[in-house]
Structure 1
Amino acid sequence: MGEPSQVQQEAAQRLLRAYETHTPIPPLTADYPELTVEDAYGIQLEQVRRWTEDGRTVVGHKVGLTSAAMQKQLGVTEPDFGHLFADFVYAEHEPIPADRFLQPRVEPEIAFVLKSPLAGPGVTVTQAIAAVDYVLPALEVVDSRVADWKITLADTIADNASSGGYVLGSTPTPLHEVDLRLVGCVFHRNAQVIGTGAGGAVLGSPITSLVWLANTLGALGTTLEAGEVILPGSVTAMSPVAPGDTFTATFAGLGSVTARFAQS
């Protein structure tokens, strides 16, 4: 993508201000109704440029809008992507400060860790599989800088695909030991089951999500690098967060992962 337009720079500044002031903003599409998907990615990438200039490090990518229900809700037919930064990572034993976020929600995912680069376009399923080092159970903390989560596709793309943070489990599993489509998940909030799902909820297979990401980023000149963490999409509906909440996702054959939020 070329230099950001004035509208893209203005919109990026609005989102950056939401982070700085800890105050959600109205949907960008309310003031910029003609905002396209390409515009929205330009806004996201302008923020990424400023963050990396400030010393933050990209450690991976996420894919959103992978479920049929979410695609129908936003009237889209393909996913979106965002960037993951080093300061998004929380350890399982580490209480996550809920007040770091604006409107946090949690969703369970099967994370990929890459052992070799993936450079699209043209990446195939077999190439994607060969590039994966292992998978891990994960919980993503999604967040929105748009008030009340009143987002369109362009709004969430511009807002770094509603990224916030993530927790990884500690039990790596090689791909050949599991069929990701069939991996079942039970999602608990404070010891109560709030959702169940399977890997097949993510575009039929999380591998499909990884291929889409590699090819979509490749068309923009970006390579998925060795060591990157890829969050391919949620296997259940997301859950809102309150201070003091504990979430656990248990994946058949992959183990479990827990995210604990600090009391306010």
Structure 2
Amino acid sequence: MTEWTVDHAAGVLLAAEQERTDRGPITDEWPGLDLATAYQVQRRLIDRKIAAGETIAGVKLGLTSRAKQRRMGIDSPLTAWLTDRMAVRPGEFLDLSTLIHPRVEPEIVFVLGQRLSGPGVTAARAMAAVSEVRAGLEIIDSRFADFRFTLPDVVADNASSARFVVSSEAHRPDGLALDLEACDLEIDGQVADSATGAAVQGHPAEALALAANSLGERGIDLEPGWIVLTGGLTDAVTLKPGMRIVARFTHLGSVVLQVSEG
């Protein structure tokens, strides 16, 4: 019988990612996995990626919509890590063979100009640390079959992080009403979904503050230069070969993801 530990769980999830195979939830076999331990698994997984040559590019928030939080039985988002190898350049084709069952969602993206140290960070303080706002797309890819997981499972799995695209067009945050910033998610030229920045905790700055405070409780600062994906604005769309996805924002411009045919 498998003895589940932080190290073992991190190894299982990393192997699933590398081998592009999904599996059942860890909590089916390790029912004692709680949220605090799941964050330890997440950090161990990222430490292994860093040891293999990846570097931290920033953080992301997951479960930022109120509806998703209610379904998972929580009252605030979860946090996870981004690395440089997750980045897809605008215009670069995404090869689905490198992933398991990816989905895409549009995001408002912050680039930090100052360090943020929680707890105690307010939305106003969070926005004061932002140097740029950009349009983005996040590609999520759970290592669990059918995206079936509990909260500790998805936290341990680094919140289903896989890839992300950030637009080359940058905007100063001054004067942007990000809660009212509208986004159309277009799939092959057709609008599949629409939302505004209010879908993310009422305002993306609230999500950033929550990230700073959550990480601060674990002794981690948000560093200058880091990218922060503030959370999906719409439901995630399953990616298919040849698909062209555009997130078109009112003031932030557009960002495009093209999926390869093969």
Pairwise same-fold verdict (TM > 0.5):
yes
- Secondary structure at the aligned position of 1:177 is classed as coil
* Corresponding residue of 1:217: 215
For 1:37 and 1:103, the matched residues in 2 are separated by 25
Deviations 1:155-189 (A, max 9, x none): 11000011011111122111113100000111111
- Secondary structure at the aligned position of 1:166 is classed as strand
For 1:156 and 1:78, the matched residues in 2 are separated by 14
**2:151 matches 1:153:** yes
User: Following TM superposition, by how much is the alpha carbon of 1:6 offset from its aligned partner in structure 2, in angstroms?
Assistant: 5.5
Counterpart of 2:87, as a letter, is V
Normalising to structure 2: TM-score of the pair?
0.96
Which stretch of structure 1 is more off in the superposition, 201-210 or 217-226?
Answer: 217-226
User: For this pair of structures, how many residues does the alignment match?
Assistant: 260
Counterpart of 2:120, as a letter, is G
Structure 1 unaligned regions, length at least 5: none
- Secondary structure at the aligned position of 1:18 is classed as helix
- Contact 1:14 1:25 (C-alpha < 8 Å) held by counterparts: no
Which stretch of structure 1 is more off in the superposition, 169-178 or 240-249?
Answer: 169-178
- Secondary structure at the aligned position of 2:43 is classed as helix
Q: After the TM superposition, which residues 24-173 of structure 1 pair with which residues of structure 2 at under 5 Å, given as runs?
A: 24-173=22-171
4+ residue runs over 4 A deviation: none
* Corresponding residue of 2:236: 238
* RMSD between superposed Cα atoms in Å: 1.2
Counterpart of 2:22, as a letter, is P
**2:242 matches 1:253:** no
For 2:250 and 2:110, the matched residues in 1 are separated by 16
For 1:126 and 1:198, the matched residues in 2 are separated by 19
For 2:182 and 2:29, the matched residues in 1 are separated by 42
For 1:112 and 1:143, the matched residues in 2 are separated by 22
User: Following TM superposition, by how much is the alpha carbon of 1:7 offset from its aligned partner in structure 2, in angstroms?
Assistant: 1.7
- Secondary structure at the aligned position of 1:151 is classed as coil
- Contact 1:108 1:140 (C-alpha < 8 Å) held by counterparts: yes
For 2:70 and 2:101, the matched residues in 1 are separated by 22
* Corresponding residue of 1:15: 13
For 1:130 and 1:21, the matched residues in 2 are separated by 41
Counterpart of 1:48, as a letter, is I
Deviations 1:99-118 (A, max 9, x none): 11111000000000011111
Normalising to structure 1: TM-score of the pair?
0.96
Counterpart of 1:154, as a letter, is P
For 2:14 and 2:207, the matched residues in 1 are separated by 28
- Secondary structure at the aligned position of 2:146 is classed as helix
For 2:171 and 2:106, the matched residues in 1 are separated by 16
Deviations 1:81-114 (A, max 9, x none): 1100001111121101111111100000000001
Deviations 1:21-59 (A, max 9, x none): 211111111111121111111110111111111111011
Structure 2 unaligned regions, length at least 5: none
For 1:20 and 1:126, the matched residues in 2 are separated by 40
- Secondary structure at the aligned position of 2:241 is classed as coil
Counterpart of 1:233, as a letter, is G
Q: After the TM superposition, which residues 188-227 of structure 1 pair with which residues of structure 2 at under 5 Å, given as runs?
A: 188-227=186-225
For 2:248 and 2:108, the matched residues in 1 are separated by 11
For 1:209 and 1:20, the matched residues in 2 are separated by 30
User: Following TM superposition, by how much is the alpha carbon of 1:72 offset from its aligned partner in structure 2, in angstroms?
Assistant: 2.2
Counterpart of 2:139, as a letter, is V
